[in-house]
A and B are shown apart, each in its own frame.
Chain A
Amino acid sequence: MSAKREIALEINGRRYAVAVEPRRLLADVIRDDCALTGTHIGCEHGVCGACTILVDGDPVRSCLMFAVQARGKKIRTVEGLAAGKELHPLQAAFIAEHGLQCGFCTPGFLMLAVALLERDPDIDEARLLEALSANLCRCTGYDAIIKAVCAAAMARRS
């Protein structure tokens, strides 16, 4: 344990000035210090992917990063996906395809899928499936999730 550091995080285009111990996980700081509780913590060791956020466009497990490491980087979380009341196409597709049940893993899947589709709009189903296998869901059996992401990808292309 050591003294708190004052840092500024940029999350969803907004600046958050926080004072945190260097050991505090980014996920905890986003949730507790910035009050953005949409990023969920499911395992704290980087396996389940519920805490996936985007850091400078890359999907990152926010439970495996310290908040102080995120200084000066652009963070995106699930709260930043919708434009006002207008849902992001992936959010709408998850609803339409019943791609969530309890919804705990959903923010992580959404952020991972956002990164995949932004990086490669033409990504095919096989590669999506491989990439999305990085995250765990215990409710849906996954088929509805892959369908939702494919539907959003199709909509984006057309």
Chain B
Amino acid sequence: MTEKQQWIGQSVNRLEDPPLVTGRGRFIADISFPHQLHMRVVRSACAHGRIVSIDTSEAKAAPGVYAVWAAADIPEVPPIDFREGRIERLEPYRQPVLAQKYVRYVGEPIAVVFADDAYRAEDAADLVTVEVEELPPLMAADAPPGEFEPGRTTTAEIVRQGYGDVDSVFRTAPTIVELDLAVGRHSGVPLETRGALARYDSARDLLEFHGAAKVPHRNREAIARMLGRGLAGVHMYEGNVGGGFGIRGELYPEDVLVCVAAMRFERPIKWIEDRREHLIAANHSRQQRHRIRAAVDEAGRILAIDDEFFHDQGAYLRTHGVRVPHMTCGILPGPYRVPAYRAVGYVRLTNKTPAATYRAPGRYESSFVRERLIDAIGHKLGIDPNDVRRRNAITPAEMPYARPLEALGEEIEYDSGDYIGLLDKALAAARWTELQASLARRRAQGEAVGAGLALFVEKSGLGPTDGVRITVDTGGSVEVVTGGASIGQGIETVVAQICAETLGVDYRGIRVVHGRTDQIEHGIGAHASRATVMTGSATHSAALQLRDKAIDIAAELMQTSKDALDIIDGKVVRRDAPGGASMALGDIARHLAPGSKTRGEREPGLSVTGWFTTDHQVYPYGVHIAVVRVDRDTGGVAVEKYLAAYDIGRAVNPALVRGQIAGGFAQGLGGALYEEFVYDKQGQPLAVTFADYLLPTMGETPAIEILLAEDAPSPCNPLGIKGAGESGINPVGAAIASAIDAAIGIPGAVRQLPVTPTRLRAILKAHAERR
């Protein structure tokens, strides 16, 4: 090969796939260690109550049982920490790993059984008797707050962000548009339930945690802190992970319990969650009610937005503290200029499964709220909502666009973007004018069909720093060690592509290591759509330096200047004669070996650690267009057509980006129409199986059209990359709501997600009665 191969921007096959299609993946349930014990969690069947007694005697006597614990057996274990460290005022709301005085949601861990077999552990768990004095459950975040514990209300926090004199703008505004909107309780629901396997090597005083995901390095810190151990004595191992979506890989009570038990019993402890447990124990997300109003002028220009919302946190604050509601405040204005802004969020505890992040946290919710508001402004003023979008959208000339709001602890500064440009592209791709005409014709013939649109800004690539180590061995094999994590998104392939192109090797020969705290000291994991931006940029930096190091010694050995050399297909060659004399990277590694005489003063090894640091997240953006058909009799909604336009800055692997968008869309569709964690008045969860919590199947999920733009590369990193993970889901609820309004001809009809058949029939019935 004499031509340098381009790998970035190519839709190459994934390195991850061969083991996964042949059944050789290593998911957590696939891993076992000799003499392991199986853990089973006894969970609260009561939504709110005071624990009177816990009797474990019968369970302890059951066959195969090694031990049974309740909270009193592990007094030294603190509640689950916030990931970002101590937040003193919120600490009383953290979850204990086993319930202490109170139970606060159905599914809360009360006791754990350890047995020699998973079936026997489950048998014994049924024998633990828990007596609870029931207390009235609080099931709505917008109801008056109650008592969390004596002296502490269920309002854990009131989050606020904003700027400008909102009140005075509203006093004089020509027009005010007000809405009351709600988003249901959803979650990521990966196909693989959670699992954890801990083992303790007392000879080396080393605790291993297998089943790590998302943020292995952060969880290592948290576990070490909670167990009072040094970092060097705790290591995390990530195998294959069956979907993340924000909820998987947060530190949960079960993760801590397997670690504590592995150390105390000096036996490996394995815990695999079942699906019912997953739906009541893993993080929920989303549920918010917003009362929002906008002050606008006659042309539909926004003068101010004032939002008050209630965030249904569930029973405890988990690892994220109050980040989701805080981010909701910061990101809600999205692509629009908002001269004065106020958001106040009441973070209320209820007797439901605790909530935290789910793919596009705070954005799925706020895009729904914001775009509903835009539609309402258009309707009230008789202006096409897309013209309202145009009049308010931030323009390229205003970039970078800073506003005094925060997301994830960083001041928001949109790095680049042409929102109106992408809106126009999306409208053209959807043939919007013809589409609307054809939908109008079909409506005239009695069909309930309509189109809706939503415009949004994503955020991705949370910094500040990530590092990657690349090593070439003396045989020429390339290993990239990252602190990134794989949740199934394809990060191995993307990192390999960036390394391959930058270094000059074939991506297929690169081994990418991730999710191993014993291999690299620092790691950011995989969340906030940051892996490609941060780990990818660090890979780029390391590969550039490694290339330099190889060419530096090769120039000496080949007796030429560095400038005359390039690396093509793993060999250093002369630029002017790429088919001529060459040195393989493995040979160069031999020359750089510690004992090599040709190494000179150079640092031993063909190995480099590269770092990437950024002050700002990057802000990709997109436009989604939905076309739906409503069955007026059943209240069913079918999505006929869907277009997702997205500016990614630069796509390292377009097929993978499209995969992220298509998959995100399906989840967004679930949240818009099907998925909801419903509770009864007593706080009993009603969605505890896949027969009640309805994931979209192939039958409900249409193929979508994806318009991938690279018009606004990020100036914040050398490759211009922005993230892709959350764009597919972000505005789906908003776009489908708008399309349903149009289909049934009732502007502003959809005020609550998901739009279940029952809710849609109620909307149609109420409308018919009003007429």
Contacts and interface: CB of A to CB of B under 8 A. Distances in A.
Interface string A61-94: 0000000000000000111011000010001001
A135 B191 CA distance: 11
Nearest to B279: A43
A42 B17 contact: no
Interface string B271-308: 00011000000000000000000000000000000000
B699 interface: yes
A100 interface: yes
Contacts of B20: 100, 103, 106
Contacts of B22: 38, 78-79, 81-82, 87, 91
A138 B245 contact: yes
A40 B13 contact: no
Contact of A98 (B30, B123, B655, B697): B655
A144 B695 contact: no
Contacts of A1: 63, 119-120, 123
A63 B93 CA distance: 38
A110 interface: yes
A59 interface: no
Contact of B17 (A94, A129, A130): A94
B21 A91 contact: yes
Given A1-B123, A94-B21, A138 B667 contact: yes
B275 A44 contact: yes
Nearest to B63: A1
Nearest to B703: A143
Interface stretch (B393-401, B407-415, B483-491, B510-518): B483-491
B691 interface: yes
A140 B663 contact: yes
A135 B487 CA distance: 20
Nearest to B11: A98
Contacts of A78: 21-23
Given A40-B192, A141-B666, A132 B123 contact: no
Interface in B118-133: 118-120, 123
A101 to B, nearest CB: 5
A129 B699 contact: yes
Interface in A28-46: 28, 31-32, 36-45
Interface residues of A, number: 57
Nearest to B667: A138
A90 B488 CA distance: 20
B24 interface: yes
Interface stretch (B152-160, B196-204, B236-244, B367-375): B236-244
Contacts of A39: 23
A26 interface: no
Nearest to A97: B655
B30 A100 contact: no
Contacts of A37: 23, 26-27, 29-30
A102 B30 CA distance: 15
Most A CB atoms within 10 A — which of B18, B242, B655?
A: B242
Nearest to B699: A133
A86 B701 CA distance: 32
A155 to B, nearest CB: 16
B477 interface: no
B656 interface: yes
B508 to A, nearest CB: 13
Contacts of A32: 32
A42 B30 contact: no
Nearest to A23: B119
A42 B29 CA distance: 11
A105 interface: yes
B163 interface: no
B13 A38 contact: no
A58 to B, nearest CB: 19
A48 interface: yes
A140 B192 contact: no
Most A CB atoms within 10 A — which of B21, B240, B699?
A: B21
Nearest to A131: B698
A32 B27 CA distance: 13
A95 interface: yes
Contacts of A31: 29-30
B23 A95 contact: no
B663 A139 contact: yes
A96 B13 contact: yes
A141 B23 contact: no
Contact of A101 (B123, B489, B665): B489
A136 B690 contact: yes
B190 to A, nearest CB: 6
Contacts of A95: 13-14, 17-18, 21
A44 B274 contact: yes
A125 B401 CA distance: 48
A48 B275 CA distance: 10
B243 A42 contact: no
Contact of B689 (A45, A102, A144): A45
B488 A139 contact: yes
B698 A132 contact: yes
15 contacts: A1-B120, A37-B29, A38-B23, A39-B23, A41-B29, A47-B689, A47-B690, A94-B17, A98-B659, A101-B490, A102-B192, A138-B667, A141-B662, A144-B659, A146-B703
